[in-house]
Structure 1
Amino acid sequence: MSFDRSIKIAPSILSADFANFGQEIRCVEAEGADWIHVDVMDGHFVPNLTFGPPMCAAIRKHVTTVMDVHLMIAPVDPYIEAFAEAGADVLTAHLEAGPHIHRTLQAIRAAGCKAGLALNPGTGIEDVDYLLDMIDLVCVMTVNPGFGGQSFIHSQVEKVRRLREKIGDRPIHIEIDGGITPLTAPLMAEAGADVLVAGSAVFKGGSVVDPAPYGDNIRAIRAACAS
C-alpha cells in the first residue's frame, strides 16, 4: 500500500450484516470504500467481544483494498503473528494495552504489517514522540473503544491538530475511529486526519440487496471533507 494524504473512507464491518460479511465487503468496496476496518475486541481491554484471527482470515479473500485491523485487546503481543497470517495489511495496537508498546510495534512490522498506534480519548500524545519512527498510522479514538454508534468526542479535534504538527513530513497516516459523519468528518480532515473509519454512517439505509445507499453515504462523507 502506497502512502498519500488523500481522504480515505474505511467502513467498519462492526456495523455490517454479520451473517453476510463477504458480500457486505464486496458491496462497500464497489461503492467506493478505500479501506476495510476490522474491530477486534476481547471483552477484557474493552467491554465487547468480536472477531479473532479465523474471522479475519475468512474475510481476507473478499477484501481487495486494505484490511485495516484494529486490535482492542490486551495482551497484544501473543496474537500479532496470527493476525498477520490472517492477512492484515495494517495492524493497530493500543498504547494503553501493555507496558512495552515499542516492542509491540517492532513485532507488528517484523510480521510484515504496517504498524498502527491507537490512542484512547483520555490519552495524551506526549508518549508518541519516541514512537514516531516506529509507526505507519496513528488511530485517534473519538469515542471510548468498545461499541459502535457512540457520540463523537470533540476534544479530540485539537489532539489531531497537535499530532499532525508532530508528524510533520513523515509518512504516517492519522486515522479517526468513532462518531464519523458528514458533520464531524470535515472537522477531522481540516485538523489533519486522512483515514476516516465510519460504521453506521456508511451502512445505514443499505443492504447487500440494495447497496446504493452505501455509496451515497461514502460520497456524502467525502464531499463534506472537500467543502
Structure 2
Amino acid sequence: MGIQISPSILAADFANLERDIASVANADWLHVDVMDAHFVPNLTLGLPVLERIAQVSPMPVDAHLMIEDPDHWAPKYAEAGATSVTFHYEAAKDPVAIAKDLRALGARASVALKPGTDVDVVLDHLREFDMVLVMTVEPGFGGQSFMPEMLPKFTALRAAAEAAGHDLWLQSDGGVSRDTIEDIAAAGCDVFVAGSAVFGADDREAEISALRDLAARARPA
C-alpha cells in the first residue's frame, strides 16, 4: 500500500464544510473527528453530520471516534457511511468485538492508542484490526505539536505486523506537517492525518501532494 493523506476537518471551516471538503479532493481519505466532551475535553459533531459529510465527500470517510462507549456507537458510524471507523482502545469494553462488528458492516476496523497507551495491548490481536492509529498528540484539540517520542510505536507495530504476515495500516494523527512527516514515514507509518498543515495552506491540494511526496521518499523500501 502506498502513502495515504487524510485531511482532518477539525481544522476546516465548520460553516463551510462542503466547500472545504471539496478543496482537498486529491486526498486519499477525509478524517472526521467525533468528540463527545467526555472521553476528551472537546465537543465536535455526531452521527447526523457525519452521515451528510459522507454523502458529499469525494473521498471515503474515516471516522475517528474520541467518545465513550464505542462498543455501542462505532457500528452506527459505519451504518452512517464511514468507510473506516477508528475507536479508542482506552474507551472500549471489547475492542475485538467492535472490530468484528465493523467488518461485518463492510467498514475497515481501526483501533487508536493515546500517547500513554503501550502498543503491547493490541499485539496479540493485530489481525483483528485493519489499521492502528498512533496518536502523536493528546487527543482532543487540533494544532498541537508532534510528540517525537511516539515514533518507536510505529516501528514496533510495523515489525509485529510483518512478523504476523498481516497487511496492517499504521496511521499518525497529530502534528503532521512537512517538518515531521518524513520521520513518521521512516518509522513505518503509511496513513497521515493532517489538519492545520493542509487547511492552513494557501493551496491545499498542492500541500497534500507535497506531504505525500515527502512521506513516499522517506518510507523504508
TM range (shorter): over 0.9
Give the alignment's TM-score, normalised by structure 1: 0.91
Residue 98 (structure 2) aligned to one of 97, 104, 122: 104
What is the CA-CA distance between 1:81 and the residue it aligns to?
3.1
Residue identity in the other structure for 2:179: L
Residue 11 (structure 1) aligned to one of 4, 7, 19: 7
Task: Provide the secondary structure at the position in 2 that maps to 1:65.
Answer: coil
Residue 171 (structure 1) aligned to one of 167, 171, 176: 167
2:19 aligned with 1:23: yes
- Gaps in structure 2 of 5+ consecutive residues: none
Query: What is residue 205 of structure 2 aligned with on the other side?
Result: 215
Q: Residues 65 and 74 of structure 2 are in contact (CA less than 8 Å); yes or no, is this contact kept in structure 1?
A: no
Aligned equivalents of 1:82 and 1:94: distance in 2?
15
Which consecutive aligned stretches of 4+ in structure 1 deviate over 6 angstroms post-superposition? none
2:76 aligned with 1:86: no
What is the CA-CA distance between 1:34 and the residue it aligns to?
1.1
Aligned equivalents of 1:50 and 1:175: distance in 2?
21
Aligned equivalents of 1:205 and 1:179: distance in 2?
15
Aligned equivalents of 1:198 and 1:26: distance in 2?
16
Task: Provide the secondary structure at the position in 2 that maps to 1:68.
Answer: strand
Aligned equivalents of 2:72 and 2:136: distance in 1?
27
Query: What is residue 183 of structure 1 aligned with on the other side?
Result: 179
- Sequence identity of aligned pairs in percent? 44
What is the CA-CA distance between 1:25 and the residue it aligns to?
1.1
Task: Provide the secondary structure at the position in 1 that maps to 2:56.
Answer: coil
Residue identity in the other structure for 1:14: L
Query: What is residue 116 of structure 1 aligned with on the other side?
Result: 110
Q: Residues 183 and 224 of structure 1 are in contact (CA less than 8 Å); yes or no, is this contact kept in structure 2?
A: no
Residue identity in the other structure for 1:154: P
Q: Which stretch shows the higher mean deviation, 127-136 or 140-149?
A: 127-136
Aligned equivalents of 2:161 and 2:61: distance in 1?
23
For residues 128-170 of structure 1, give each alpha carbon's deviation from its aligned partner in whole angstroms, at most 9, with x where no partner exists.
1222111000000000000000010111111111110001141
Residue identity in the other structure for 1:66: P
For residues 42-65 of structure 1, give each alpha carbon's deviation from its aligned partner in whole angstroms, at most 9, with x where no partner exists.
100011011111001111122222
- 1:62-73, aligned counterparts within 5 Å? 62-73=56-67
Residue identity in the other structure for 2:199: F
What is the CA-CA distance between 1:23 and the residue it aligns to?
1.7
Distance 1:26 1:78, change over 3 A: same
- 1:126-205, aligned counterparts within 5 Å? 126-168=120-162, 169-205=165-201
Residue identity in the other structure for 1:176: S
What is the CA-CA distance between 1:216 and the residue it aligns to?
2.5
Computed over aligned residues only, the root mean square deviation of the Cα atoms, in angstroms, reads 1.2
Q: Residues 80 and 111 of structure 1 are in contact (CA less than 8 Å); yes or no, is this contact kept in structure 2?
A: no
Task: Provide the secondary structure at the position in 1 that maps to 2:24.
Answer: helix
Query: What is residue 209 of structure 1 aligned with on the other side?
Result: none
Residue identity in the other structure for 1:223: D
Aligned equivalents of 1:159 and 1:84: distance in 2?
27
Give the alignment's TM-score, normalised by structure 2: 0.93
